[in-house]
């Protein structure tokens, strides 16, 4: 679904924002490789992911965003794959 | 290592993620088995014995239902690793500290706030920034039925009325230009939609495990 649409939209739950989390849908959207809109939440740390997000805070913002190009998509996928490696390294160190 | 990965049934949140993680652990050389959480169902002593007799070195899971946590509390010969990304059956995130040695031995979390608390409480813990996306490259395809300008995947439920979700309502939930998918938007399914859903789940589970 994400790969088929022009833009996918990401949100982070209020309870997740308070606890310093990024919603797992962002990982899926990054990996699917399409253009991502994110609602603008002040104070959220996207751990580098903000480079690949277009932030929106009003309906007017929808018409201002542009789809990302192939080079950008490639870097976006590389970004999330590196984060996936980080996750498995952390888990394996506990195991 | 012999690893047990506990997952939720479809359509609960991690029904696909946990087998995906199990797959990667298997690729890393571990012997991995999957088990579906009990979802509140009671269990007998034989069930505890059956799991304990497998002598898993590690059990990995996210927040569970109370019945499965009761089972986990009996499996203290295995290293129990909890991925703490939601408070689940607890009232607050911090309450998890009271269950060390019962619900878990070690923690992996995507909450920077909780990670600092675990570290200060001398609980073995690791922090991660992003969840793995449980998608294999071969599964990422473009489908005409999903060719929308804007899509949103997420639950509806209480978010349609709670004050905390006003921005989401303005930009997504009440925006007819956004195609919405996920649980909570549609209360009733047709017979055809139900069976399509089941068919999709079976396909995805088989793909994940092959």
| pLDDT tens by residue, A5-50 | 999 999 999 989 999 999 999 999 999 988 999 999 999 999 999 9
Neighbour count for residue B161 (Cβ, 10 Å): 8
Strand B150-153 vs strand B178-181: parallel, antiparallel, or unpaired?
A: parallel
Whether residue B94 is found in the same domain as residue B157: no
pTM, rounded to two decimals: 0.88
Q: Is residue B104 part of a domain?
A: yes
| Nearest chain A Cα distance for residue B160, angstroms | 13
Q: How confident is the model at residue B11 (pLDDT cuts 50, 70, 90)?
A: confident
**C-alpha A80 chain-centroid distance:** 9
pLDDT digits (tens, 9 = 90+) for B117-133: 999 999 999 999 999 99
Whether residue B149 is found in the same domain as residue B114: no
- Average the pLDDT over each of B71-85, B118-132, B165-179 and give the range with the smallest value: B165-179
Whether residue B56 is found in the same domain as residue B102: yes
Examine the fold and report which residue of B73, B98, B127 is the final residue of a domain before the chain moves on: B127
Q: What is the ipTM of this complex?
A: 0.93
Q: How confident is the model at residue B57 (pLDDT cuts 50, 70, 90)?
A: very high
Q: Which residues of B touch A73 (CB under 8 A)?
A: none
Q: What is the DSSP letter of B149?
A: S
Whether residue B142 is found in the same domain as residue B85: no
Residue B21, both tokens: 């993680």
> Do B130 and A90 lie within an 8 Å CB cutoff?
no
CA pair distance B93, B86, nearest whole angstrom: 7
Q: Is residue B29 part of a domain?
A: yes
- Residue B151, chain A, CB below 8 Å: the answer is yes
Q: B127: Cβ–Cβ under 8 A, 6 or more apart, which residues?
A: A90, B108, B109, B110, B112, B115
Angle between helical axes of B17-27 and B191-209 (0-180°, round to 10): 10
| Nearest chain A Cα distance for residue B196, angstroms | 16
| Nearest chain B Cα distance for residue A69, angstroms | 16
Q: Which residues of B83-99 are buried (b: 16+ CB within 10 A; e: fewer)?
A: bbbbbbeeeebeebeee
pLDDT digits (tens, 9 = 90+) for B181-202: 876 655 566 787 777 766 766 6
Q: How confident is the model at residue B75 (pLDDT cuts 50, 70, 90)?
A: very high
Q: Which residues of A touch B108 (CB under 8 A)?
A: 90-91, 94
Interface probe for B, chosen from A10, A22, A24, A74 (most Cβ of B below 10 Å), is A24
- Cβ atoms B38, B12 nearer than 8 A: no
Q: Which residues of B touch A1 (CB under 8 A)?
A: 143, 146, 151, 153, 181
Q: Which residues of A touch B172 (CB under 8 A)?
A: 9, 11, 39
Neighbour count for residue B34 (Cβ, 10 Å): 17
- Residue A84, chain B, CB below 8 Å: the answer is yes
- DSSP reduced 3-state for B132: coil
Residue A14, both tokens: 């209020």
Nearest-by-CA chain B residue for A91? B108
User: Residue B141 sits in which domain range?
Assistant: 137-209
Nearest-by-CA chain B residue for A55? B171
Assign residue B30 a region (left: φ > 0; alpha: ψ between -120 and 50; beta: otherwise): beta
Q: Is residue B132 part of a domain?
A: no
SS3 content of chain B, % helix, strand, coil (to 5): 40, 20, 40
Which one of A11, A18, A86 has the shortest CB-CB distance to B129? A86
Tally of domains in chain B? 2
- Cβ atoms B131, B110 nearer than 8 A: yes
Residue B162, both tokens: 């709670």
| Nearest chain B Cα distance for residue A76, angstroms | 13
Q: Which residues of B touch A8 (CB under 8 A)?
A: 150-153
Whether residue B95 is found in the same domain as residue B48: yes
CA pair distance B53, B69, nearest whole angstrom: 18
Q: Which residues of A touch B128 (CB under 8 A)?
A: 83, 86-87, 90-91
- Residue A58, chain B, CB below 8 Å: the answer is yes
Size of interface A-B (CB pairs under 8 A): 159
Whether residue B104 is found in the same domain as residue B165: no
Q: Is residue B197 part of a domain?
A: yes
- DSSP reduced 3-state for A87: helix
CA-wise closest residue to A87 among A7, A3, A12, A27 = A27
Residue A57, both tokens: 């805070």
Whether residue B79 is found in the same domain as residue B152: no
> Do B112 and A20 lie within an 8 Å CB cutoff?
yes
| Exposure on the CB side of residue B157, measured as CA atoms within 13 A | 6
- Does residue B53 or residue B157 have the better pLDDT? B53
CA-wise closest residue to A22 among B11, B180, B132, B103 = B132
């Amino acid at each position: 679904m994400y790969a088929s649409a022009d833009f996918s939209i990401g949100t982070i739950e209020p309870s997740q924002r308070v606890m310093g989390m990024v919603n797992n849908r962002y990982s899926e959207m990054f990996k699917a490789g399409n253009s991502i809109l994110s609602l603008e939440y002040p104070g959220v740390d996207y751990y580098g992911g903000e480079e690949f997000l277009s932030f929106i805070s009003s309906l007017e913002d929808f018409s201002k965003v542009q789809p990302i190009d192939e080079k950008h998509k490639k870097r976006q996928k590389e970004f999330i794959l590196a984060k996936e490696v980080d996750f498995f390294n952390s888990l394996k160190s506990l195991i | 290592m012999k690893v047990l990965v506990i997952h939720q049934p479809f359509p609960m949140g991690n029904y696909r993620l946990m087998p995906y993680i199990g797959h990667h652990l298997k690729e890393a050389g571990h012997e991995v088995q999957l088990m579906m959480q009990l979802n509140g169902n009671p269990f007998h002593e034989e069930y505890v014995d059956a799991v304990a007799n497998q002598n898993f070195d590690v059990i990995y899971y996210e927040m569970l239902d109370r019945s499965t946590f009761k089972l986990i509390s009996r499996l203290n010969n295995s290293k129990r690793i909890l991925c703490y990304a939601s408070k689940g059956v607890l009232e607050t995130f911090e309450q998890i500290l009271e269950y060390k040695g019962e619900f878990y031995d070690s923690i992996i979390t995507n909450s920077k706030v909780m990670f600092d608390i675990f570290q200060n409480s001398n609980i073995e813990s690791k922090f991660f920034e992003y969840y793995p996306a449980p998608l294999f490259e071969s599964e990422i395809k473009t489908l005409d039925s999903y060719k929308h300008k804007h899509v949103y995947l997420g639950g509806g439920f209480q978010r349609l009325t709670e004050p905390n979700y006003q921005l989401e309502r303005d930009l997504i939930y009440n925006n007819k230009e956004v195609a919405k998918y996920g649980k909570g938007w549609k209360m009733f399914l047709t017979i055809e939609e139900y069976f399509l859903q089941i068919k999709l789940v079976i396909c995805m589970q088989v793909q994940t495990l092959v």
